[in-house]
Structure formats: C-alpha cells, structure tokens
Amino acid sequence: MTGLKGIIGCVLVALLTACGADKPAAMTDNGWQQYRSQFVSTDGAVLDTGNKNISHSEGQGYAMMMAVAWGDEAGFHTLWQWTRSHLQVRDDYLFAWSWTPQEGVQDKNNATDGDLLIAWALYQAGRAWGNDEYTALARNIVADIRRLLVKTVGNNTVLLPGAEGFSSDDLTQINLAYWVYPALEDIATATADPLWRELIASGKRLTHQVSQGSWALPPDWVDLPAGKEPVMAANRPPRFGYEAVRIPLYLVWSGDYDESVVSNSARFWETTSKTGVMPAWVDLQNGSRAEYPAPAGFRAVWELTEKALGKNTTGGVAMISADLNGQDYYSASLTLLSRMAMQERFSR
C-alpha cells in the first residue's frame, strides 16, 4: 500500500512538479534565521526598515518563499496567518499592498507582484508539506490575478501592477519587474492555462522592446499608449534602478531567457563598479547615474547574472553568501532571493 500511495501522491502533484525530481534542495545556511530576526515581527509582519517599518504584500511574499526554502513550516504558518488577517481585506482574494502599525490598511489597492509571490509561496508550501489547504488558497489567488489583473493591450498580454489606477482606454502602465517569471512558470504548469504562457512571452518581448540607453536596459516603469509602441513611463523617473533590478533576477531564476537582458545588466554593473561606485540607478535618457552606491542586494543579483553567464568578474558569490547585518529590508530580500535562485538553478 505504501508504494501505491506514493504513486498516487506523485500523480496528484504532477501538474506542479515532477515527483521529487525537480524539487530544489532545502537551504542550509542561516540566511533565513538572520532575515527573520531582523525583519519579521513575532506575529509575522515583515518590516520594511528602509520605509518607516511598513509591511507590504511583496515583503510577506518574499518571506513566505524564504520560509519554504529553508524548511520553516511554523514560520510560514505565522507569516501566512498575519498576511491573511491583515492584508486579505478586499472583496476578492488579492491583498492590500501595505499596512502600518499606526493606521493599518489605508489603501486597499493591491500590488500584483505581492499577490504572485504569496500565491507561489502557498503552492510551494502545499507541495513541501503536503498541505492541500495551502494549494487551494493559492488557486483562489491565481484565479483572481487572472480575472482582475491580466489584460490584453494591442498584441500583448500584460500584467497590471494593481487592480485600480493603471489602465484606461488611452494608456496602460506596467512594471516589468512584476513579472515574477519562476512563479508564472509554476502557475502555467499548475493550471495548464495557455494565457500564462502568453503573459510570460509578452513580458519578455516587451522587455526587449523598451530596453534602451547606452546600456540597453529596461526602465523601472513602462507606458503602453493605445495603438502605439511601448515607451518609458512619462510620469516616473526614466531609470533602470530599484524596480527593474529584479528583472534579471527573475529571468535567471526561471531558467528560460534570452541572454541579452541578463548580459546587459551584468555589463552595466561590471563597468560602473570599476569606477569605484556601482550606482543605484542609471538614467536611460541622459546616462546620469546615482551618486550613491547600490545596496548590497544589487551586487547579489549581479553575482547571480554572472553565474548564469559563466563569468566571475564579481569575485565569486561573496555578496550572495554575505551576512545580512547592515542591510535594510530590500537589500536583504534581494540577497536571499538571489541565493535561492542560485541554489535552485545551479546547485542541482
């Protein structure tokens, strides 16, 4: 009977992953313990230490993913319970994008990358610990992402950054860093819905179309005017910076990408770091750069891209494996996400 039950179990999860064959090994360093002690409250709120300690759906999703990667089932449960009770307050299965201890939720609009990360974490938790409830919860979130946030604009299938405020008859604004490619790949497999593959392909195509400047990099935000070509968002700084840094991270993590976007970002970081300052952003119109350095987490993403390209100009994986002390929430998040991607893509 044990063998039969094992076969049945594999069949039940076949749409999500091959039975154990492709499951990444659990992380074994102390990165999650450090992150949890520095940025997660005892009741499960992830604190953005660089932004008045507010909590975001994005941060909850990051931490839930980390808890699964490091095998912390109890920690995952605490994170999910806080997220569910404090952020899942809309009339659908999506999450309010932010919460503060002083005011709670003031804006019920969602942030789609947070929704994707939370759903992906629930899918992975369901697989890791055989919890059908987590899987069912993930499906509900994914269904509402599809219903409310996936839109056809011209020849593109796009992901709205939020349910409200980003789309009109004349203009749609998107953030290509919200395409969390490994999550979308997982969802595409789990649902067998071709729309998710269309969304993945559109995201990669749009990234190529809008990459520009002397480094051929994608901007943080993009406008899609009705009937016209995509352009950098008119109402935001024309930068490759704190948002778009996640594009090469998610591309490498997915394992399926054209090397150009990854290699262009790696070339930018390598070249500028030789001047003594790896800048936090570059203006894609005039080439000006931030006068302050990028946080450590950016370097971790760079090291991941160098690994993907078979290079080693960053000095190894020193920052990916670095201690998190001294890093703020976002930098530490990028560091651990890069570490997780490195483990999943290159340590099998």
58 has catalytic annotation: yes
Give CA–CA dist 345/236, Å, rounded: 34
Main-chain phi, psi angles of 324, to 5 degrees:
-85, -10
CB 64 within 8 A of CB 122: yes
Q: How far is CA 311 from CA 44, 57, 255, 335, in A?
A: 38, 34, 17, 19
H or E element, residue 99: strand 98-99
* Token output for 247: 């594009």
d(C-alpha 157, C-alpha 153), whole Å? 6
State the CB neighbour count (10 A cutoff) for residue 330.
22
Which of 48, 113, 115, 303 is catalytic? The answer is: 113
Q: Are 97 and 114 in contact (CB under 8 A)?
A: yes
Question: What is the C-alpha to C-alpha distance for residues 204 and 257, in angstroms, rounded to an integer?
Answer: 8
Select from 27, 23, 52 the least CA-distant residue to 339.
27
**Residue 120 corresponds to which tokens in the numbers above?**
């992906």
Q: Is the Cα torsion angle 147, 151, 156, 162 positive or negative in sign?
A: negative
250 φ, ψ (degrees, to nearest 5): -70, -35
In whole angstroms, what is the distance from residue 7 CA to residue 185 CA? 24
Reported as half-sphere exposure (CB side, CA atoms, 13 A), residue 149 has a value of: 29
H/E stretch holding 209 reads helix 194-210
CB 76 within 8 A of CB 135: no
Does residue 196 contact residue 188 with C-beta atoms inside 8 Å? Answer: yes
Catalytic residue among 58, 186, 220, 243: 58
Residue 243 bears catalytic tag? no
Which amino acids are annotated catalytic?
A: 58, 113
